[in-house]
Structure 1
Amino acid sequence: MLRATTVILLSLLLAAPEFLPPPQSTGPANSAASCGGPSSQLRIMQYNIHSGRDSRGRLNPRRTASVIERSGAEVVALQEVDVHWSRRSAWRDQVGVLASRLGMNAFFAPIYTLPPSRAGYPKRRFGLAVLSEHPVLATTNHRMTRRSTQHPSGSPVRLPGFPEVLVDINGTAVHVYAAHLDYRKSPRMRRIQVREIVTVLDRGDSGAPRLLLGDLNATSRAPELVPLWKRLRDAAGHTGAPTYPAQRPEVRLDHIAVSRGAEVVCSTTVASTASDHLPVVAELRIPS
């Protein structure tokens, strides 16, 4: 009887479209119970969605939406987002699909905008996005120095793809930034990009809460990220759990950083292979 019950339970788990264990606390002063419990004033998520493909490269946008929905995140930063980009994502508008499924406002910040694959088809775009359950007051797609993957020369150029979204959180205007830094081993380009991020951060209202969510392609203790920590605080306290690769995480590339105007209740990673990166979730208290 016990053996039969075990077989049934295993069958149910394998059949489930997305089995998500409880979030795990990653900060030294965090409480796993508080992160797994009811949301504080604001729950946010950082997620590189790998163009809607899972850790084995299989396209499954429903799993992507399921991870976000089950996390309870109210504001989400996404990287590697396709909008009519290519066959790898079935030419879908991933921002529109996710926003519709989740009932959230969306801002898409393309890095690349290319001609359509055929006459009369939409333009091909690839970039970042911010989703929000809360009202969006203003949006900007800032430029950043990048080595383009779409041009053979690979010379550094100024390209868009650093979104800033002003979100109304219960009457408080909060600046949300989403970033995706250079993936190459050399830190030289990331160093330039961090300087540019800092410039944008310093332009805003210093009294308003600022949240930076990103795949920074570096650990929090990497020298090129030091200028960020002079203005923002790592939500996981520089001791967060690894986020990449999703199946056997070895390094933390995905980060949430907050200004003094936001209190971190806890920070977690969510176990899921819906992407090649693990999502990071943080719960915050935002003063009114």
Structure 2
Amino acid sequence: MLRIVSYNIHSGRDLFWRNRLQQMARTLGELQADVIGLQEVHQNSKYGYQADYLAGALQYHSIFAPSIRIADGTYGNALLTRLPILRSRTLSLPAKKEKRCLLQSTLLWKGTEFDTWVTHLSLNQVSRLEQIDMLMTLAKKQQNHPLILVGDFNTTSASFQPILTDCARITCNHLLPTLPSFRRRIDYLFASRHWRVGTYQLIDVRWSDHVPLAATLELSERQVPAE
């Protein structure tokens, strides 16, 4: 089964702003994921080249998608994987204040191409609704192709039904908070009907203000309705 992880790494810091990048690398290594989507990732000299560091520690391929400029570099989303990366691109999402983006990557697994999208949506509700609408439009265009969408959606009610399945909801884990200090679930793993969801779990570590999400997926011989 394909193992996928999503993790908002909070600039590599915990709630007390202590640097936890080494601990994050160790935890991600223990998870042995095939694909990892990361949010709040720095690529600059002020906070470090975090996507490069984590990819190097894990010996994974990496792609970084900048959202905003910080110091002499950028800050945004990243994808780490041990699978072949066939192609990727970064799309800007509509936003009134802080810029947001969608990292789209096509990977190869067991001879099948599939897309993995990584994003981090706005705190502003108006912008966030526009971003969700754009993601839904893009996902509808991908209905004939296996798709996984992961990230921090900054809302407790993100849904892409009937196009994508919420991995937490279908496994009855949707009440578990991904942002423990606020007891809210704002991070999600979504999968198209091409995938059968095996397991879903939250990893109980406090290296960030968020916890990592992990799921196992298997390509289904017949398409599964989204839930």
Same fold (TM over 0.5): yes
Which residue does 2:178 correspond to in 1?
Answer: 243
2:93 aligned residue (144, 156, 176): 144
**Cα-to-partner distance string for 1:179-229 (whole Å, 9 max, x where unaligned):** 111124xx322110001111222333x22210010111111xx2xx34x12
> Structure 1-normalised TM-score?
0.72
After TM superposition, what 4+ stretches of structure 1 lie above 3 angstroms from structure 2? Answer: none
Which residue does 1:5 correspond to in 2?
Answer: none
2:153 corresponds to 1:231: no
Which residue does 2:150 correspond to in 1?
Answer: 213
Higher strand share: 2
Paired residue secondary structure (1:100): helix
Distance 2:96 2:19 in 1: 27
**Cα-to-partner distance string for 1:54-94 (whole Å, 9 max, x where unaligned):** 232101210111121111211000000000163xx2xx111
8 A Cα contact 2:100 2:121, kept in partner: no
8 A Cα contact 2:100 2:122, kept in partner: no
Higher RCO by CA contacts (8 Å cutoff, separation 6 or greater): 1
Distance 1:280 1:85 in 2: 28
Higher Rg:
1
Distance 1:75 1:147 in 2: 31
Q: Kindly report which structure 2 residues correspond to 1:87-126, keeping only aligned pairs within 5 A, or say none.
A: 89=47, 92-113=48-69, 117=71, 123-126=72-75
CA displacement at 1:230 relative to structure 2 = 2.2
Which residue does 1:26 correspond to in 2?
Answer: none
**Cα-to-partner distance string for 1:5-37 (whole Å, 9 max, x where unaligned):** xxxxxxxxxxxxxxxxxxxxxxxxxxxxxxxxx
Uncovered stretches (5+) of structure 2, i.e. residues with no partner: 222-227
Q: Over aligned residues, Cα RMSD in angstroms? A: 1.7
Distance 2:5 2:25 in 1: 12
Uncovered stretches (5+) of structure 1, i.e. residues with no partner: 1-40, 118-122, 150-158
Distance 1:180 1:233 in 2: 18
2:113 aligned residue (145, 169, 173): 173
- Report the number of matched residues: 218
Paired residue secondary structure (2:23): helix
